[in-house]
Structure 1
């Protein structure tokens, strides 16, 4: 689905000839919760002759973050509809928190579906703080306007198309730095929206070969290097983990490698991104309960994020070398499926005793991570919907984070900056001891099938496939990658696109 046309303007917001205009609204705790229009809305507030906040209060507005209040302007300003979005308490600095702005812009634009052209007159400081604030507002607005096209045979009653165009009021629309932020926001949002599209597709429409073909086609068009290994090549190449997981399906597995090489950089840092691409996970022979199994169409969210991030890298052209590895398979029960008790030889030669075929993600990722290290890299960032333990421990918004000290610190800082938080977790020796095998190098899970430290078991296993000297991090997005509740902020129901923006911020920071 195409995203709205985005433009910057520096005209008077009160005279903006659009279908709707968005302003921010603060509460003032020290003034008994009195409302205060946020910076950027001064001319609009003046046009209402001092009655704007009183009118909004009568409509129930409180200034709470993400709260949306609509008001017909009746000719008071050029736009026929005014939308006030809550930004929380009056900020002590120049602007509210970035995530508050990001979510507020997303909530307002999402609420204006069907409105056509929308202008945003939200707080944008005219100083060194302006670029990250501008980026937050732009990304929030573009992601909040997302809607999956779906497969309905007839138009849905009451369903309104997303906004077609967004105008953002800024202090200086002609400034090249401001224009650069706009271009970046468009690229990043497009990649996040593509990730959401892939995650939201039904599993019969996105089987391993189809997913690999879609990625390869988009990557080739973007100018990336593309390598796709099919089932026979995977067997011949020693990718035992991917082969084992994928052999139970009539749709064979794939390993996709995408490559970006910067121009004009003599010895660039090398970054490998690895993503889990299980297009549907039944659990295999260790089959999952039926309740909620449909959500396992999202078990390829990590690979989708890595592929979309590489497409953004191709457009943004950072000064680092970036490779993406997508381990794609469908985990199905059948006469040819791998079994508990099997011993699998992985790409790096390690032998794994299988205890639970539903712990398939770590099997395909182990091969992909070992391949990335064999190709040569300085940093390895892997992301996957790996464990239910992540959701139990950290919920649906915060990713689990494990790995080397430097890499995990980089991921946490990047996630905090873009509104995709991740929390560092340990890799204890006793967890590794519990994964000792009597007949192989390591058990795939705790040898007693004890789920204690379930998320940590995944990280401990993956560490076995990272070469010495490589800074690495595992980002478990089992919760944050898929939103099952009502739309909120810039998240719509379904795929969220986490952690595309974190990966791109990491690459920026390393560049």
Structure 2
């Protein structure tokens, strides 16, 4: 099931004359002592002129304050060609600069979401003559518009009411619609938006519809359509090759595990080799160490890391960076049955290490360890792994900030890339005392630190994974347990359900690696 996103295009004609269902403008909040409570942002000049100077006063009467993301609708009654003007708040006016890209991204998203039921929308929001900084105002507006308008198709038997139908077309007003730089930014934003939407679709799909074989097939088919090279290992191939961690986790389910490898190689000029690894637990019951029933339905999202990696490769195929990118997606369903793996088991991993299992609900690190060891055989320059690994991430950093562990320099680069695209992440340590407590009496390493219980649980996951990274490989583990799934109401460009984190961070990093 694939969600249809709005189409994007650029326009440079007078916004007041556009034949669209709604025209979106920006407004800044003003200090109480200012001459007016609101200030119109650039892009709204012709709209303001059509209202003979009464636009600000009218918006204030409707309650507009300019607060970031606030949406105020105004019927134009023929004043301009569009029947509706929508003012979106941009916060206080920045001095001598455009609003922050994250502000623009959220503003565009809120406006487009609020205009459900409107077919075509135009954004007349601030855009510089050239892309702003590393991410660009235009890119931010385009991404926000696409992601804010996302709505999972779902399984309802009755049609969606017309008033809730997502916007189908978005035009963005720029100084020159034919400018190659602007058009390149729009193309990239479209590829990114589609990748995030695909991630969200996979994450939002019920677990009974996307068990490991079905998930592997869906990913493989999408990757092949994109021109990527795909290899899928079934349970027989996994067992023969010694992928003990993936087999152990998946053996409790009647739907057997898979390992999907997706490769992109540029036609010429490859500068770096990047490995992307994503956890693909299509449903996590906790296994024998079963989870509490409350909220367990959200465990359909435990494959968000694999979904993000697969979708990132789809965008890479479209954008064609000059780096070799390979994705490794270990997929399994962690279920309770007579054949499920048990606490106390010793598992022989793909790397040859022996792992003592103490908690079957710490299954993600088992499948990821096998995938990491396999990825290191391809000798990548950078290894980026992402997973909904631990509830400890949510406890430590909340629902919006991912935890990052690994090589210090690469962790810093992940943080910087995440900050640039609006997916915040924070580096965390890998303490020696956590590792010491994972020494096992019967194996090379235990799966968790039994002495710490759940204390430092996010760090335990990172420490365990570090044992399977080859010497000399720059690596980063991105724990997205909280940021990958929004159980609350939509906010900004984050829809309810799957969010698509960290697709945009991974693509930003790949861009930066390509420019080295």
TM-score by length of 1: 0.98
Match of residue 14 from structure 2: 12
Write out aligned runs for 1:56-455 (5 A).
56-127=59-130, 129=132, 132-157=136-161, 160-265=164-269, 268-448=271-451, 450-455=453-458
Match of residue 41 from structure 2: 38
Q: 1:449 Cα shift? A: 5.5
Q: 1:409 Cα shift? A: 1.3
| Long gaps (5+) in structure 1 | none
Q: 1:465 Cα shift? A: 0.8
Write out aligned runs for 1:17-32 (5 A).
17-29=19-31, 31-32=33-34
Match of residue 466 from structure 1: 469
Write the distance in 2 (CA, Å) between the matches of 1:493 and 1:207. 22
Q: 1:31 Cα shift? A: 3.6
Q: 1:174 Cα shift? A: 0.5
Asked if structure 1 preserves the Cα contact closer than 8 Å seen for 2:131 and 2:138, the reply is: no
Q: 1:159 Cα shift? A: 5.5
- SS of residue in 1 equivalent to 2:208: coil
Write the distance in 2 (CA, Å) between the matches of 1:5 and 1:330. 36
Return 22-31 or 218-227, whichever deviates more: 22-31
| Long gaps (5+) in structure 2 | none
Write the distance in 2 (CA, Å) between the matches of 1:182 and 1:157. 30
TM-score by length of 2: 0.97
Write the distance in 2 (CA, Å) between the matches of 1:418 and 1:30. 32
Write out aligned runs for 1:475-490 (5 A).
475-490=478-493
Write the distance in 1 (CA, Å) between the matches of 2:31 and 2:405. 40
Q: Does 2:506 match 1:509?
A: no
Asked if structure 1 preserves the Cα contact closer than 8 Å seen for 2:29 and 2:93, the reply is: yes
Evaluate the alpha carbon distance shift between residue 110 and residue 273 of structure 1 in structure 2; reply closer, same or farther with a 3 A threshold. same
Asked if structure 1 preserves the Cα contact closer than 8 Å seen for 2:484 and 2:500, the reply is: yes
Q: 1:176 Cα shift? A: 0.9
Q: Does 2:4 match 1:2?
A: yes
Asked if structure 2 preserves the Cα contact closer than 8 Å seen for 1:437 and 1:447, the reply is: no
Asked if structure 1 preserves the Cα contact closer than 8 Å seen for 2:131 and 2:181, the reply is: no
Q: 1:447 Cα shift? A: 2.2
Q: 1:353 Cα shift? A: 0.5
Deviations 1:63-122 (A, max 9, x none): 111111111011111100111111100111321011111011000000101100000000
Asked if structure 2 preserves the Cα contact closer than 8 Å seen for 1:144 and 1:490, the reply is: yes
Q: 1:128 Cα shift? A: 5.1
Write the distance in 1 (CA, Å) between the matches of 2:447 and 2:489. 36
Q: 1:374 Cα shift? A: 1.1
Write the distance in 2 (CA, Å) between the matches of 1:56 and 1:325. 52
Deviations 1:21-62 (A, max 9, x none): 111110112645710111111111111111111111111111
Deviations 1:461-509 (A, max 9, x none): 0000100000000000000000011111111100000000000000000
Deviations 1:262-297 (A, max 9, x none): 1122x5310000000000000000000000000000
- SS of residue in 1 equivalent to 2:299: helix
Asked if structure 2 preserves the Cα contact closer than 8 Å seen for 1:362 and 1:462, the reply is: yes
Write the distance in 2 (CA, Å) between the matches of 1:234 and 1:364. 11
Write the distance in 2 (CA, Å) between the matches of 1:159 and 1:425. 45
- Give the superposed CA RMSD: 1.1
Write the distance in 1 (CA, Å) between the matches of 2:132 and 2:457. 41
Write the distance in 2 (CA, Å) between the matches of 1:359 and 1:455. 11
- SS of residue in 2 equivalent to 1:124: coil
Asked if structure 2 preserves the Cα contact closer than 8 Å seen for 1:436 and 1:447, the reply is: no
Write the distance in 1 (CA, Å) between the matches of 2:96 and 2:437. 50
Write the distance in 2 (CA, Å) between the matches of 1:353 and 1:449. 16
Evaluate the alpha carbon distance shift between residue 317 and residue 156 of structure 1 in structure 2; reply closer, same or farther with a 3 A threshold. closer
Write the distance in 1 (CA, Å) between the matches of 2:62 and 2:361. 51
Asked if structure 2 preserves the Cα contact closer than 8 Å seen for 1:94 and 1:125, the reply is: no
Write the distance in 2 (CA, Å) between the matches of 1:94 and 1:156. 41
